[in-house]
Amino acid sequence: MAISLEVNGERVDAQVLPRLNLADFLREQLQLTGTHVGCEHGVCGACTVRVNGEIVRSCLMLAVQTHGASVQTIEGLSDSGEVADLQAAFRDRNALQCGFCTPGMLMAAQDLLKQQAEPDREQIREHLSGNYCRCTGYQAIIDAVETTARARGRGTA
């Protein structure tokens, strides 16, 4: 099927099979491999991307469903500098070990920070509850998100 959408601000026209999910479309047809494929049934959060401004699981959405939509991946957020401070905080706090979950974590964390200026640790935990880190570095991840939220609140971000 023919689809036409916007990915990280660029128009994309493609031919896809109905069974192709958005995660595989991004990774294999567009070579945007920052979106990771973990569990493929919506549990791990590694494939989190933005569709029309809202975070979704790209393994639970068909590429054909994104016809006419605007998709943003971690590459888009990273290149635009939108999450530069969050990335720096992750690095400073060693909030990534193997790095597999990191793109999804950054997506979910940025989604929270856009909605809520200064979330507390419990709210951060709840918002990231759908993202698994198999290295179990959760405390450092929450620290990094909290630090970023505070810095942005002070206007130093």
Partner 1 sequence: MKAAAFAYARATSVGNALELLKAYGDRAKVLSGGQSLMPAMNLRLISPELIVDIGELAELRGIAVTGSVVRIGALTRHVDLLTSPEIAAHAPLLTEAISHVAHPAIRNRGTLGGSLAHADPASELPACMVALNATIIVRGQDGERRVAAGEFFKGIYETDLSARELLISVELPVAGKHSVHFFHEFARRHGDYAIAGLAAQAMVERDIFTDLRLVFFAVGDRPVLARAATKLVNITITPAVLAAACTALGEELDPQDDQQASAAMRRHLAKVLLARAASALLDRPDLNAGGRA
- CA 153, chain centre distance (Å): 22
How many alpha carbons lie under 13 Å from residue 83 in its C-beta half-sphere?
Answer: 27
* Among the listed residues 9, 17, 94, 139, the single contact to partner 1 using CB under 8 A: 17
> Is residue 157 part of the contact set for partner 1 (CB under 8 A)?
no
> Is residue 135 part of the contact set for partner 1 (CB under 8 A)?
no
CB 18 within 8 A of CB 59: no
> Is residue 7 part of the contact set for partner 1 (CB under 8 A)?
no
By CB under 8 A, how many residues form the interface with partner 1? 30
* Among the listed residues 10, 13, 15, 19, the single contact to partner 1 using CB under 8 A: 19
> Is residue 116 part of the contact set for partner 1 (CB under 8 A)?
no
Residue 9 backbone class (left: φ over 0; alpha: ψ -120 to 50; beta: rest): left
CA distance 7 to 3: 12
> Is residue 127 part of the contact set for partner 1 (CB under 8 A)?
yes
How many alpha carbons lie under 13 Å from residue 76 in its C-beta half-sphere?
Answer: 19
CA distance 142 to 157: 17
Q: Which stretch binds partner 1 (CB under 8 A): 12-20, 26-34, 80-88, 139-147?
A: 12-20
> Is residue 101 part of the contact set for partner 1 (CB under 8 A)?
no
Which stretches of the chain bind partner 1, using CB under 8 A?
A: 1, 17-19, 21, 24, 40-42, 45, 48, 54-57, 59-62, 64-65, 108, 111-112, 125-127, 129-131
